[in-house]
Amino acid sequence: MKAKKIAIVAEWLTSRGGAESVVDALLEAFPQADLFTTVFNEKNLPEYIKRNPKTSFLQSIPFSKSKHQSIPPLLLPAIKDLNLEGYNLIISSSSAIGKGINKPKDSIHVCYCHTPMRYVWQSEIDDRLISKPFGRFFVEYLKRWDIKNNKSVDFFLTNSKTVQKRIRRFYGRSSTVIYPPVNLLDVQSDKTQDYFISLGRLIPYKRIDLAILSCQALNQKLLIAGDGEELPSLERIATKPTRFLGRVSGEEKARYLDSAKALIFPGEEDFGIVPIEALSCGTPVIAYAIGGASEYIINGKNGILFKEQSVNCLSEAVEKFNKTKFDKKYIIKSAQKFAKKRFIREITEFIERI
């Protein structure tokens, strides 16, 4: 496809995460594109100011720049408020509402789907919505909204075979896997220190509690980098071998990952950016064998997989790790196929084919 006018849609631009890395790569792949989003926090993400994001009515509501996820009834009309008239190619980055754009007639909508809304379709592992008052009502409403609005999508792209199966199961749609872009870390050293690390948002489905209890049972030092709603409950179960680092900078993250014995990654993730970053340092990963990590962690080669989210099963994996020798060069090489340049090449080729 030779697109004359391209729009890239981010659901919101309020803080940095894996979705923003995809948006960055899309803007690099299509530098002529215009950027759209429901709400933009210039203070947190000043790097997007030069792209002059076009926003929805949410931008005029002051608290929406930091509390947008606390006002879900406004998010649904906000995504439809984006004026995409005149664009013949729209690429959305979506894990929630991005599929619901008002697609102009004769335009093509390509959706890079990080996952169908986890708290809607998989509330058994992410109960942040269903556990709230009237949560079941909202979950059922959002399921109907999601099914209706994904009809605006002409082509689904996704970040893993795991999510590809969810798109087929929940939407009845086919999709193409293009693994997400990862900024590989180039900080390999030979100075491994005597600690494990878990890194990311501290929310229930990440199962950081398993990492804490397993390391404590084995008297292994564990560093936890990140913050989130589960921090107080995690601090209550933690004892001396566990240390909370809080939110860390990019440089600090690279240094901690590089020096760790291994990254412990106990949650069921769609893909998992942090494990790839760890591998790029030559650091092995101990990961739950369900989800995206199972697509790139090779047992005994660049990490250890465990089959059940239990303290006993993870403890056994840590003990197995401690008895296993790893080839650092092999581990680093296993991360290379996830570099940003590969993502840009693959998504550009896909757009040219449609």
Residue 318 C-alpha from the chain's centroid:
25
Reported as a single tens digit per residue, the pLDDT across 286-297 is 999 999 999 999
Q: Which of 21-25, 157-161, 199-203, 257-261 has the lowest mean pLDDT?
A: 199-203
In the structure, what pLDDT confidence band is assigned to residue 312 with cuts at 50, 70 and 90?
very high
The predicted structure's pLDDT at residue 143: 95
* Residues 6+ positions from 225 with CB-CB distance below 8 Å: 197, 198, 199, 200, 245, 246, 247, 248, 252, 253, 256
| Higher-pLDDT residue of 18, 317 | 317
The domain total for the chain is 2
Same domain, 173 and 36: yes
Nearest to 320 by CA among 295, 287, 290, 296: 287
Q: Are residues 325 and 348 in the same domain?
A: no
pLDDT tens digits, one per residue of 236-271: 999 888 999 998 988 999 999 999 999 999 999 889
In a domain, 281, yes or no: yes
The 10s digit of each residue's pLDDT in 264-306 is: 999 998 899 999 999 999 999 999 999 999 999 999 999 999 9
Tell me, what's the pLDDT at 335?
95
pLDDT above 90 covers a percentage of the chain that reads 79
Query: What was the pLDDT predicted at 63?
Result: 81
List the domain range (segments joined by +) for residue 310: 196-338
Single pTM value for the model:
0.87
Look at residue 336 in the predicted model and tell me its pLDDT: 92
pLDDT higher than threshold 80 for residue 99: yes
- Stretch 41-68: mean pLDDT: 91
Q: Are residues 170 and 274 in the same domain?
A: no
Cβ-based neighbour number of residue 52 at 10 Å: 10
Neighbouring C-beta atoms of residue 32, cutoff 10 Å: 9
Helix axis angle, 18-29 relative to 340-353, nearest 10°? Answer: 60
**From CA 288, how far away is CA 318, in angstroms rounded?**
12
Structure tokens at 314: 């993870």
Is position 175 within any domain?
Answer: yes
Highest mean pLDDT among 57-61, 115-119, 304-308: 304-308
Tell which wins on pLDDT, 320 or 135.
320
Q: What is the mean pLDDT of residues 116-125?
A: 89
Q: Which residue has the higher pLDDT, 204 or 103?
A: 103
Same domain, 135 and 246: no
- Angstrom distance (rounded) from CA 241 to CA 351: 50
Identify the helix (H) or strand (E) that includes residue 204: none
Clarify whether residues 299 and 288 are in a common domain. Answer: yes
DSSP 142: H
Regarding whether 200 and 176 lie in a shared domain, the answer is: no
Q: CATH number of the domain that 210 lies in?
A: 3.40.50.2000
Please determine, for residue 96, whether its predicted confidence score (pLDDT) is greater than 70. Answer: yes
Name the 3-class secondary structure at 105.
coil
Provide the edge-to-edge strand list for the sheet that holds 242-246.
242-246, 222-225, 196-199, 262-265, 285-288, 303-306
Measured CA to CA in angstroms, residue 214 lies from 208, 237, 310 at distances of: 10, 11, 9
Tell me: do 348 and 329 sit in the same domain: no
Question: What digits encode the pLDDT tens for the residues 186-225?
Answer: 776 667 899 999 998 898 889 999 999 999 999 999 999 9
7 contacts 83 by C-beta, under 8 angstroms: no
Residue 17 and residue 127 in one domain: yes
Paired strand residues for 182: 339
Residue pair 348/29 in contact (Cβ under 8 Å)? The answer is yes
The residue ranking higher by pLDDT, 160 or 229, is 160
Element (H, E) at 217: helix 208-217
CA distance 100 to 108: 14
Residues 325 and 346 in one domain: no
User: What is the pLDDT of the chain when averaged over all its residues?
Assistant: 93
